Amino acid sequence: ALLLAVSGATPPEHGALIVILAGGKGTRMPASEQHLPKSLVEVAGKPILEHQLEFLRGQGFRNIRLALGHRADQVIAWLREKRFRDVGYVVEEEPRGTGGGIRHAALDERKPFLALNGDIIADFDVRAALRASGGGAYAVMTGVELRDVSGMGVIECDEHKRVCRFREKGAEQIGGLINAGLYVLRPEDLRAMPDAFSIEYDLFPRMASNGSFVLHEHTGSYWFDCGTPERLAQVRDYFAYTHDRRA
């Protein structure tokens, strides 16, 4: 594996649920990838989803559940073929938005749990993100600092790392802190929402306004959003270069 090898002993298993949002249609993917659900688009010889599953398992997380929708049958067949039979999944019969998809997948959950966007490849410290929740006192957004945030929404925090607001996407090429796509969520926050909703536009501003949302900053070696043709090309170039240097 190019990015999923974990140095040292395998950490003890952690029982927290992780929901991966793997139901996206991938409408912004290159035409050559449109026959696949976005989570099965390959980077460095394996699907994005496989990178995520191997990385999470390497950190001791095995209670993983996929929120599926578009082309769910392909993802389910892939799980069986690759012997990821212990990975759970819930299939949406109709679109519920990112928030509705997460809530649907975690209906039986009573403790804080993690959610991960299905188009992110990063070396997150997942346990550190969980610790940032203070045992469930706060919901957590993982953020990453970028030199150029043009075309991206920016997170604004106070001195205590409480998320205060989100600045809309702008065209200026400046640095800033953006949503990295890994969250710690509390079931009670989701129960207050309608059946279909967006975590980004409906839930997150609500939690930020009541002071219950805190930032955990990702400080690992890499973070990639694979959600557009340009970004997908960047992550493929990165791992091709990494592989060449290791060869």
Q: Please write the tens of the pLDDT for every residue from 98-118.
A: 999 999 999 999 999 999 999
- CA 245 vs CA 42, 51, 59, 239, 242: distances in Å: 20, 20, 25, 10, 5
Integer Cα distance of 53 and 50 in angstroms: 5
> What is the per-residue pLDDT across 170-228, written as a single tens digit (0 to 9) for each?
767 789 999 999 999 999 999 989 999 999 999 999 999 999 999 999 999 999 999 88
Give me the amino acid identity at 170.
G
Tokens 């892939």 correspond to: 78
Helical residues (DSSP H) of the chain, grouped into ranges: 48-58, 72-81, 97-105, 126-131, 187-191, 204-209, 229-246
From the candidates 38, 82, 161, 169, give the one annotated as an active-site residue.
169
Q: What is the largest CA-CA distance in the chain?
A: 52
Active-site residue flag, 169: yes
Burial of 231 (0-12, 13-18, 19+ CB in 10 A): middle
